[in-house]
Each structure stands twice: as C-alpha cells, then as structure tokens.
Amino acid sequence: MTMRDHLLAFDQGTTSSRALLLDPDGGIVAVAQAEFRQIFPQPGWVEHDPNEIWATQSGVAAEVVNRANLPLNRIAAIGITNQRETTIVWDRRTGRPVYNAIVWQDRRTAGLCDRLKADGLEKTVQERTGLVIDAYFSGTKMAWILDHVDGAREKAERGELAFGTVDSWLIWRLTGGAVHVTDETNASRTLLFNIHTREWDEEMLRHLRVPRSMLPDVKSSSEVYGEATGTLSGIPIAGIAGDQQSALFGQMCHEPGTVKNTYGTGCFMLMNTGKDAVPSRNKLLTTIGWRHGGETHYALEGSIFVAGAVVQWLRDGLKIIRSSSEVEALASSVPDTGDVYLVPAFVGLGAPHWDQYARGSIVGMTRGTTDAHIARAALEGIAFQTVDVLRAMENDSGISLKELRVDGGASNNNLLMQFQADLLGIPVIRPANVETTGLGSAFLAGLAVGVYKNLDQVRQLWKADRVFEPSMSADRREALHARWRKALDHARSWVEPDAA
C-alpha cells in the first residue's frame, strides 16, 4: 500500500502564485512560482484577472508535482493559503467572473466607507466583525461590483452569482464548481462575518446590500472540503487559512501572547489571543486565527499595506535597482539614511493609523541624498511601521513582547531584520524555513487527514535559523522614532476625500 504522506500547499499571493510540495517533516521537496499582472485602471485602484490567478496557481501546482516526480497517490492533501480580502464575483452557471478581482490594496470604496461611518456604524462593525470600516475589506468591494457592473445586482438577487475570496475561487475551480466554501479566517476579513457567533451577519449584509445567496459556506481551517479534479484528481482539499493566519500557525504561535510578523507585499503582525476575541482600543483588528479540533483561536492583527511592495517600487518605479535582492547591498553602502525618511503610504496608512487619504512621501532630502539613502529609508520605513503596530498591540493585550518571529520574503534581508530588532529592543527570530505561510496551510491539511496526530507533533518541525539581538541604545531608538512620527505627519490626509 502506498503511503500518502506528502502535502501540497497552494500559496496564492498578491503578486505571484506559489506551490510547495512538502515531505512529512515539513521539508520542501519542490517549489514553483509564477508572477501575474497587476492591473491599475485608475490611481488607487488595484485589480487582478481571476483567470490568471487560477492559471498561474494550477500551473505551479502541476509543476512542483512534475519536478518532484512524485505519484499523485503519495500526496495526502492540499492546503490553501491566499491573499485575503481580495474580492471575486462570478456566474454560478458559467464560472466566469463578472469583473476583475478587486485587490485588498484597492481604495475605490473609500467614499462608501465614509458614508458607513457617517451612518454611525463604526461601533457596530467593530463589535460584530472585529474590524474597522475601511476600503481594505471585502464587503465594500462586493457592494461596488453589484452597483457598478451592468446586471450584477439583478443576477445576484436571483441567486445566479457567487462571491469568494481567493481561497473560495480556487476551490471552486479545483472541484469543477462542485464546492463553494471558505474558512473562518477568510470570512472574518469580509466585514460580513460575526466573529462571535461565527456566522454571516444579517445586519451587515443589509447595510452593504449583499444577498445572502452569494456567500460561501463557512468551514473550519482544518477539514476535508472536497476532492480536486483535473490534473490533481482525487486529492483531498483539507486546509484553508488566509495568508497571515496561516503564517501565524506555521510559525507555531499556538499559545496566547506569541507573535509573528510577515514581511510580504504588505506587513502583517498577529498575536495569538487564544479563545478570547480581544477588542482593540488602538485601532488594531480582532480576527480569527484559525479553527481546528472544534476550537476557534482568535488574534489581534496590525495590517501595514506597503512593505515589500516599496522595494518593488524602487525596482519598477524609480529603477534604482534591477532586482529586489539588490536592495540590501545598496542600502548597506551608506551608514544611515542621512536623516531621510520614506513613508510608503502609496495606498493609505493601515494600522494603527487607518488614514485612507494618506499618500507616500519622502522627507529630509538634500543635495547630498543618493539612491542608497532612499533605499535605506525605504527599508527602515518598513521597520518603523512595524514598531507602531507592536506598541499598539502591547497596549491592547497588556503583554510586553519578549521576541518577534518573522517570515516572508523581506525577512531574508539581514539589514532590515537587524534594524527591526534595534528599533523594537527585543530579539527578532527568523526560522530555518521562512515559507511559513505555505507551511501553515499544509500543516492544517495534514492534521485533517492524519499525516500529523496532534499539534505537538507539528510544533517539533519548527527550527530557528538566526536570532537578531538588539544593539541600539534606548535614547537613539526613541530619537529615530520621534523623527518617524514627524515624517508620518507629512503623509497624512494628503488626498482630498473627493479625489480618492
């Protein structure tokens, strides 16, 4: 009898689709990645082609299986992790999207968010969903599609349209349209899900005028949802978690008070708060971390919209580097930023500021400023934003953090990680395998199908690669942060609400 002991992780991100094939020890057997188009129809609008998302994700999945030369009957399950909040609406009969995917970074619904705030809904939204009213989340994006795509609202009212975050879209396609589900982590990012009753919230559906028939069934993060068809035919789909919750699980932050930060396109810090949904007084988000074994774990989250994306901008916009990997060497060629600060508020500011009218700024430049100073300021801007979130998280939770676990592509940047430790004044720990986003969904799938017996067995698979110890004085740390706060003030409320 062939042992089904390998796991296939779909890691569908904002700029690329990745697939990882893992052995039972969590080791990567094969990995493949494919970038896809970023579509910018207007300033502040960001879209993806849902069919490109599917084509690249299914393509890299087939590629890793072929590279590993592994028979399909060795793969025990598929785990899916995904860019969150990105909104797709499609026709149930044809499977065709009615509009491009509206990406989490998109700001077109800022005006609708202002109207919801003017209607006095902020308290209701926080109490029920754990979120703040912001264009970041899926609900207002769905409302925009229904109001702006010809015939969409009428079709939705007739039950002909389906909504999904990217996980739901992938599972729909994987199962040939047989399964329309999401998990609690993704549902908790829509503005439509009550995180306490763990059901779609009728009041929020009414406020956003979203028909209940569009929504997927909400499942746990670790169970068998269905079987794949096509090239992966017969493999159970058994784990789902939004990318940041998946990374929290993959970093083994399974105990209350443990924290991870993912440095991807955006930057996302999550603290496990256990079975308690801790309300935030500092504009953080209360979200679902995962549901497994009949228990829901909650988390506090601080979302930074632009992190690694600022390095892509240095490459593609300013063209001062040819590849993202060059930024560390360029930034390291100067000892500091020369008092230059770069606030990467290209699509507004996320936690804990939540200013959807902020825009990016570079301040403190002189004739002596070089591309190296700007590159270093870009990296330091990522770290400063993380400090703002961590301080808010400590205030909300009453817990002083002892360490920060890090992952994501930019966590491989040693200059950034050392500066992060210096600014925080606590050790920053990078794991031996920084693919924790993909790992989390794979481990959740593995638990569902018996590759792993329990969480203790999973925890033993995590190992540290490097610990960055802080070496900056407290006075220096505070002086730098004071200058950062001054730079932030220049970026705030830059766009007039009517122009956003």
Annotated binding-site members for ADP: 14, 18, 265, 308, 409, 413
How far apart are alpha carbons 70 and 73 in whole angstroms? 8
How far apart are alpha carbons 426 and 374 in whole angstroms? 26
* Pairing label, strands 222-227, 28-35: unpaired
Beta bridge partners of 75: 6
Give the three-state DSSP class for 85: coil
DSSP H/E element including 489: helix 474-491
* Pairing label, strands 6-12, 75-82: parallel
How far apart are alpha carbons 295 and 12 in whole angstroms? 26
**What letter does residue 278 receive in the DSSP assignment?**
P
Reference 165, options 143, 139, 145, 198; nearest CA is 139
Residue 475 φ then ψ, to 5°: -65, -45
| Contact between residue 290 and residue 241 where contact means Cβ atoms under 8 Å apart | yes
Alpha-carbon distances of 68 from 65, 76, 228, rounded to whole Å = 5, 15, 19
| Contact between residue 47 and residue 102 where contact means Cβ atoms under 8 Å apart | yes
**Residue positions in the annotated binding site for sn-glycerol 3-phosphate?**
14, 84-85, 136, 243
How far apart are alpha carbons 182 and 196 in whole angstroms? 17
Reference 354, options 134, 111, 138; nearest CA is 134
Q: What is the DSSP string of 162-200?
A: EEE-HHHHHHHHHTTT---EEEHHHHTTSS-EETTTTEE
How far apart are alpha carbons 134 and 355 in whole angstroms? 9
- B/e letters for 445-479, b = 16+ CB within 10 Å, e = fewer, are bbbbbebbeeeeebeebbeeeeebebebeeeebee
Q: Which residue has the tokens 């065709």?
A: 96
Residues 6+ apart with CB under 8 A from 468: 414, 417, 418, 420, 421, 427, 428, 429, 430
Q: Across the beta sheet with 428-431, what order do the strands follow?
A: 285-292, 295-304, 267-274, 259-263, 404-407, 428-431, 464-468
**Residue positions in the annotated binding site for ATP?**
14-16, 265, 308, 312, 409
Q: CA neighbours within 13 Å on the CB side: how many for 79?
A: 37
DSSP H/E element including 428: strand 428-431
